[in-house]
Amino acid sequence: MKVEIDYSKLTGSLTMSKLLSLEPLGLRKLLKAGLRRGSTEEEMGVLVSTHLFSSPSSDESIQLFGHLQEIGWISLVQGRWKTHFRVP
C-alpha cells in the first residue's frame, strides 16, 4: 500500500481543527490514538500497517514518525506514543 502524505500541511501547532482536516484518514487515526493515555508501540504499529504503510519499520513510517516528533506533535513517553496539542 502506498499512501502519500503532504508534509507541507504537517507544520505549526496541532489543534483539534487541524487534526480533523488532516489527510489521509489513517494519519488522523494515528494521532487520535495518541490522545488521553497514549498508544503502545504495538498499537501504533497496527495503525501504521492497517491505514498508512506496509510496515511500521518502513522508510516512510520512520520518516513520518521522525517528522511528527520533530514538529512536536507526538513523543514517546514511558513507552507510549502521545499526541500533543499546542496553543497557537
Q: CB-based contacts of 1: which residues, under 8 Å, 6+ apart?
A: 52, 53, 54
Residue-range domain boundaries for the chain = 13-83
Question: 12: pLDDT confidence band, cut at 50, 70 and 90?
Answer: very high
Stretch (H or E) spanning 74 = strand 74-77
pTM for the full model? 0.92
Q: Say if residues 10 and 71 touch (Cβ distance below 8 Å).
A: yes
Summarize pLDDT for 28-81 with one digit per residue, the tens: 999 999 998 999 999 999 999 999 999 999 999 999 999 999 999 999 999 999
pLDDT at 83 over 80: yes
